[in-house]
Structure 1
């Protein structure tokens, strides 16, 4: 299985704000409305500001967030688990939101990381155009590479608006993805324990 791509992004030069706003005007016209009418006149600027917020993960590096670790763990060698991390992302196929929760765990070796940094890693990958499967693997791989733990477990449960508001129109269907590495992958009892701890 190929490892997820953790290289820094973006890989292409960003257009200017003016070019981006003109693209929004074109889409408004393509949808059938007048981009010059009063209610839509400022929409292109609002859209690019929203994109700047929704996709800020392209400007951030998960390795940097995980680079400050602590070696004084006083012999702690059990799971570190974060539950119910909010996930707000956009699918790369329709740029439609998918919203849900993430659960992250790792088994430390000789170092740990601040728990807020794990939340930040989830956020960095969520704030990019994504598939849920890729994002789940990327989170696990970033933690694996930075901390060299005995194992990592990641689960994401999300509802995809590209399925609930278009296409098959099935709301309230959630998608669950998991990624296990190290001892979580080789030890089914540890996987089961992780699932019990997070209430799944």
Structure 2
């Protein structure tokens, strides 16, 4: 279901009035329309099938060594994402890192990005977002293990309450082989190394 822009605009106008502002003053006349467009973008994933991009898989059984399955994980690091916290409707943003241990099928890396983007384009909490991504991959690929690590900064922490601008939240969701901490230790180290390299650069 598409976001009702007209209704969002009207409710934004009411909100401005409720906080004591004049929605007809020059600086605010276009705000309801802008907020409606913003919400249409931020919440485009509501009602969408986030797992749909995973339907197009590629068989690795037809390669040069068809009897051999991939022996290691596929790791896609530093997928930028942004979402909106459902508790205060404030944004949170950061990086998603996804690893899966393929069976006979792999998927295009862009498909993993689209899964993240679709689940993130909803009112969310970070803990659920990671679990949704992991479950979609585990359910739609013949992956022997799935690991999703999210590292994000939350507006409700950085801009209100304790106001900790440097704070970030790290969550881990795992399926299959990667539910064992020892099995995912190498991947966690690789993800951490990438984050250190980015900070150093």
> Does TM, scored on the shorter chain, surpass 0.5?
yes
Is structure 2 residue 186 aligned with structure 1 residue 193? yes
Is structure 2 residue 29 aligned with structure 1 residue 41? yes
Kindly report the root-mean-square deviation, in angstroms, between the aligned alpha carbons of the 2 structures.
1.6
Is structure 2 residue 58 aligned with structure 1 residue 65? no
Is structure 2 residue 153 aligned with structure 1 residue 168? no
Cα deviation, residue 159, structure 1: 0.9
Is structure 2 residue 102 aligned with structure 1 residue 114? no
Residues 185 and 16 (structure 1 numbering): CA distance in 2 closer, same or farther, change over 3 Å? closer
Distance in 1 (alpha carbons) for counterparts of 2:144 and 2:189: 19
Cα deviation, residue 97, structure 1: 0.6
Cα deviation, residue 15, structure 1: 7.3
Number of aligned residue pairs: give it: 187
3-state SS in 2 of match to 1:167: coil
**How does 1:2-13 map onto structure 2 within 5 Å?**
none
Cα deviation, residue 29, structure 1: 1.2
Segments of structure 1 that go 5 or more residues without pairing to the other structure are 1-9
Segments of structure 2 that go 5 or more residues without pairing to the other structure are 194-201
3-state SS in 1 of match to 2:192: coil
Tell which deviates more after alignment, 83-92 or 14-23.
Answer: 14-23
3-state SS in 2 of match to 1:23: helix
Distance in 2 (alpha carbons) for counterparts of 1:146 and 1:77: 20
Distance in 2 (alpha carbons) for counterparts of 1:185 and 1:121: 21
Residues 35 and 60 (structure 1 numbering): CA distance in 2 closer, same or farther, change over 3 Å? same
Taking structure 1 as the reference length, the TM-score comes to 0.88
**How does 1:17-96 map onto structure 2 within 5 Å?**
17-72=5-60, 74=63, 75=68, 76-96=70-90
Cα deviation, residue 33, structure 1: 1.2
1:77, 1:109 within 8 Å by CA — same for their partners in 2?
A: no
Taking structure 2 as the reference length, the TM-score comes to 0.88
2:134, 2:148 within 8 Å by CA — same for their partners in 1?
A: yes
Distance in 1 (alpha carbons) for counterparts of 2:3 and 2:58: 40
3-state SS in 2 of match to 1:166: coil
Tell which deviates more after alignment, 73-82 or 150-159.
Answer: 73-82
Distance in 2 (alpha carbons) for counterparts of 1:89 and 1:36: 30
Residues 16 and 86 (structure 1 numbering): CA distance in 2 closer, same or farther, change over 3 Å? closer
